[in-house]
Amino acid sequence: MQLNLVKNMADLQQALAGLRTQGSVGFVPTMGALHAGHASLIKLAKERSKNVVVSIFVNPTQFGPNEDFTKYPKMLEKDMETAKAAGASLVYAPSAGDIYPEGFSTSISAGNMNKILDGAFRPGHFDGVATVVAKLLLRVVPQVAVFGEKDYQQLCVIRRVVQDLDLPVEIIAAPIMRETDGLAMSSRNAYLTPEERKTAPEIYKTLCETVKHIKAGMPHRQATAEGVDKLSSMGFKVDYLELHDAATLNSIESLERPARLLVAAWLGGTRLIDNIAMG
């Protein structure tokens, strides 16, 4: 199958007009530096649609002033190959000016999500995500859009945006793709030094151990505190390791409803996130 590249809204609309005559459109928004995790999303979208559009846009408004926006890896040619192999028909790689033209001033607030987990540690992050994803969904107007559980809170934010703003799209969640040693695949893993890369899988091991302890009856706050101690002793600086309601991400006391154990921790200058289902 042929893979086309467009870089602005006019060319996107023209390409989409052609794709829509062929059937349904699926959409996978990304920031590029595509890996097997992204490819799994594209494949999932392809199972559900005739054509898949992949966006590649490192969105400046979702990065804080001291975050990694300027050093975020960029490799459009390689990404095109990955997207093509996974079954995409169109890559939309807009400039910042195409997404945020002169005078742009409206944004969507992620509301309560700004107060919990990553929302609390990355002020403005989810407003940036909500706004850019809403814009992309309104430009592409796909029947389905696929997001990874790797960014679990982001998935919850998107589900809320789509529900609250009546966006006519079905959101599909894709499971986390991992390296063979358990580390969740991430474009940011490229920042890790060889030494840090050896330590990084401990984050997933700790998630699994913490789940085991909670299932064995240990109070979840005790289990997560032990997990934080373990990660800290191995050199991580933990932002949070917490159990939350899987749908609302509210704090929970007991395991009566599906829950999600989520972690964010720094290893040197790299911030890693991961999560696992419970109950």
* Site residues, ligand AMP (CB under 6 A): 30-31, 37-38, 40-41, 147-148, 150-151, 174, 176-177, 184-187
User: Rounded CA gap, 115 and 112, in Å?
Assistant: 6
- Count Cβ atoms within 10 A of the Cβ of residue 173 and give its class: 0-12 exposed, 13-18 middle, 19 or more buried: middle
User: Rounded CA gap, 25 and 162, in Å?
Assistant: 17
* CB closer to ligand AMP, 182 vs 213: 182
Sheet holding 170-174, edge to edge: 4-6, 90-92, 51-56, 25-30, 144-148, 170-174
Q: Provide the residue type at 127 as one letter.
A: D
Q: Please report how close the Cβ of residue 218 comes to ligand AMP at its closest, in angstroms.
A: 28
Q: Is 125 a catalytic residue?
A: no
Cα–chain-centroid distance for residue 64?
16
Q: Which of 35, 38, 125, 244 is catalytic?
A: 38
* CB closer to ligand AMP, 147 vs 236: 147
Q: Please report how close the Cβ of residue 129 comes to ligand AMP at its closest, in angstroms.
A: 9
Three-state DSSP class for 66? coil
Q: Please report how close the Cβ of residue 233 comes to ligand AMP at its closest, in angstroms.
A: 26
Q: Please report how close the Cβ of residue 175 comes to ligand AMP at its closest, in angstroms.
A: 7
Which is it for strands 90-92 and 144-148: parallel, antiparallel or unpaired? unpaired
The answer to whether residues 92 and 55 touch, using CB atoms and an 8 Å cutoff, is yes
Per the DSSP assignment, residues forming a β-bridge with 251 are 244
Closest CB to ligand AMP: residue number: 148
* CB closer to ligand AMP, 187 vs 270: 187
Mind telling me the catalytic residues? 38
